[in-house]
Amino acid sequence: MTNSEIVTCANGPLLIRGDFELVDSSGETIDCRRRTVALCRCGASNIKPFCDGTHKLMGFRTEPTIEETPGEN
């Protein structure tokens, strides 16, 4: 599998795009028929592991990720 990416959406799900395979904790493949899926990060989705938009209703907020410090690269 190549050409895939994972994108973190602020205050929302993880988006997985491209060629990928999702596997659950028991090693079973999760059926995904799309090239882009949204995975729940808030824990409240009714269709886990996929996002159903519940994060918007519950006010899910993520912490800021890496903050750049001026003058550092």
**Do residues 40 and 51 touch, judged by C-beta distance below 8 A?**
yes
Complete domains list, the chain, with CATH: 4-58 (3.40.5)
Which backbone phi and psi does 24 adopt, to 5 degrees?
-85, 180
Mean pLDDT of 57-67: 81
**Do residues 49 and 36 touch, judged by C-beta distance below 8 A?**
no
Tokens coding 20: 């990928």
* pLDDT per residue as tens digits for the range 36-60: 999 999 999 999 999 999 999 999 9
Is pTM beyond 0.85? Reply is no
